[in-house]
Structure 1
């Protein structure tokens, strides 16, 4: 029972259908095995790059397809329904391309973006530190000027694709100024002095490696500084707005997959003389699951449309990430309940779905941070608005 979508062109219909086909035929059949083996499905990224999915929202001149973010998110949702590890990986990779596309020089974009968007190179985004997750301005990783470039020293934490990526977008402190003392660098994956911790032993997303990234005096040339020195924090926060929409799409993909499994099971499982979907208590549970997914999807698409129109969308991105991931947590938990004892076993994917979406309430800014972002936007909007007539 695929999600019902209102797509504006035949091309959009074909792209979403192609993503759904790849998810069902290539990603879903191997997802459980990749998770059990803690295996990073690197070959899937090459396949998705060849299909143009990794560069879908980026300009054609940079090697992308030049299509809307609204369409990209719906493609991403279909991919995540097949494999959450791949969906999250695509979202993180797309976010790692954003600083170069948005803030890089013409020469930098021409040099690196075609391979990044084509899937030849897979990226990682290195912002968080163990003491500076929700507060990136507190980072301690430093980049010192040396002849011809910078020497970067420090450790980044919770890095998706750590040890597997071909390049790392690293944010490091170039001065002690809290908000204007951070810069952005493109570090090659084979740089001398770059090493990685053991992959984290996680609750879910085992096919997506997460490690510490250690930079022990890694030297990069000046040509690997993205944007201006001191511009790193605005770059990071801007990328996170788009990345939050990517996580919303992944959460919705998994939630839709869980709903589909639950509905199919309820139609086939019989008790008390008929399919259990005919019993009101369970039917209402399924209805509530659908009613959670659809408005969350609408919130995500509203934020994407604002982004595509060049309008501010930071508040809407936080709303979408918040409601989509909270909805996905409820829906996947309820899917386990619909299947009963069977849902608690690995014979069905819903227990994996439930474990996978939990972290989506945490990364790209916890949902508590999203509430802070939303509240601050409301406060600023209220301060800027004329006083109401009394």
Structure 2
């Protein structure tokens, strides 16, 4: 690593001395390669095409019915497992695809182009549930749980509560030791995947006197007695279940603690940073989906003897939307690559999540107007993208929380 860095520095200095016009030539001479953020491995490109076909052919025909019924089709969930999309980063030994984090982001983006509800189900399962187990579980725990999560059992991440949203560590759910078990009492709210999930990561406080340092992560199954209570009726991503969970003397074996007692806050903070890149990918895919659904229509819809897209007022709107989408794409994949490379990425993740959410709302809202009256009807599905976009500014850290996070990094750098 140091040798490569030295070579890079030598190349740059040589460039400065000779006024060589091409930076790429200098790096090429040093044996290094400069790639754009639009460069993907052959495996990642193949995955994108595979997910795109699945989303178009399998998910697409079911989108409207799932939205109207506010329920995920079980065949979609089965299809995600069959396609290997529920264990993207998980090792082959545990039934996963053993692929890259960027591959997970690609899958989330492609699914969101067709249905953001399916996308977020895949996102939470991969970037939150699977990742916690891959990074923090013991080998015995991984051997037990990861194959199930890769092949058949949907996972759910249970952190938020009625009084614990943006202040994630103000949670009131308690866990008390009872022999070789822990007994959990409390409730969770706004829990994604909760209606269909069979495996749950539950955050509870084992020692309230320690504040957030008493928070511990437990893994549990639905049949242990988790009560699925109220299912929320939402503006958007209706097919994605969001429920309240109740725990009344829920008994969990000691062996089901993930990462150690009192380390739940550390797990949650680190994992949510990764999860924000997933939400950015969801919002990016949503914006592209809305754009690609409507723009062709603007070239076939004629008024005053010409396509409406040829009028400057609309053509400039399309151009600005394309620029916004591209910027969100670059920010999302930059954050993903930084994470893969082991670099600091919390600020970049917050920026990507914030901006992709803004772009998703602007582009999907604009798409309704570009399509006119047709866009306002539910039949075309254009308005659904706008409804689905609103959640991007709320979950896994509101837009204000992202701005606060970014501001703290700025303060640290410049104050």
Q: What does residue range 1-390 of structure 1 map to in structure 2 within 5 Å?
A: 6-94=38-126, 95-118=128-151, 120-176=152-208, 177-192=210-225, 194-382=226-414
Q: Per-residue displacement from partner, 1:197-252 (whole Å, max 9, x unpaired)?
A: 22111101111111100001100001110011000011011111111111111111
Task: Report the TM-score, using the length of structure 2 for normalisation.
Answer: 0.88
Please say if residues 205 and 212 of structure 2, whose CA atoms lie closer than 8 Å, have aligned partners that are also in contact. no
Q: Which residue of 1 aligns with 2:31?
A: none
Q: How many residues align?
A: 378
Distance (Å, rounded) in 2 between the aligned partners of 1:302 and 1:162: 31
Distance (Å, rounded) in 1 between the aligned partners of 2:58 and 2:103: 21
Distance (Å, rounded) in 2 between the aligned partners of 1:223 and 1:42: 31
Query: Cα–Cα, structure 1 residues 380 and 63, in superposed 2: closer, same or farther, change >3 Å?
Result: farther
Q: Which residue of 2 aligns with 1:388?
A: none
Please say if residues 368 and 383 of structure 2, whose CA atoms lie closer than 8 Å, have aligned partners that are also in contact. yes
Specify the SS of the correspondent of 2:211: coil
Specify the SS of the correspondent of 1:54: coil
Specify the SS of the correspondent of 1:178: helix
Deviating more after overlay: 300-309 vs 51-60: 51-60
Q: Per-residue displacement from partner, 1:281-312 (whole Å, max 9, x unpaired)?
A: 11111111111111111001111011101122
Specify the SS of the correspondent of 1:260: helix
Over the residues paired in the alignment, what is the CA RMSD in angstroms? 1.4
Please say if residues 243 and 364 of structure 1, whose CA atoms lie closer than 8 Å, have aligned partners that are also in contact. yes
Please say if residues 41 and 86 of structure 1, whose CA atoms lie closer than 8 Å, have aligned partners that are also in contact. no
Please say if residues 90 and 146 of structure 2, whose CA atoms lie closer than 8 Å, have aligned partners that are also in contact. no
Distance (Å, rounded) in 1 between the aligned partners of 2:313 and 2:337: 37
Deviation at 1:316, TM superposition (A): 0.9
Please say if residues 96 and 124 of structure 1, whose CA atoms lie closer than 8 Å, have aligned partners that are also in contact. yes
Deviation at 1:8, TM superposition (A): 3.1
The unaligned stretches of length 5 or more in structure 2 are 1-35
Deviation at 1:5, TM superposition (A): 8.3
Specify the SS of the correspondent of 1:154: strand
Please say if residues 142 and 174 of structure 1, whose CA atoms lie closer than 8 Å, have aligned partners that are also in contact. yes
Deviation at 1:71, TM superposition (A): 2.5
Deviation at 1:46, TM superposition (A): 2.0
Task: From the CA coordinates, give the structure whose radius of gyration is larger.
Answer: 2
Distance (Å, rounded) in 1 between the aligned partners of 2:332 and 2:136: 25
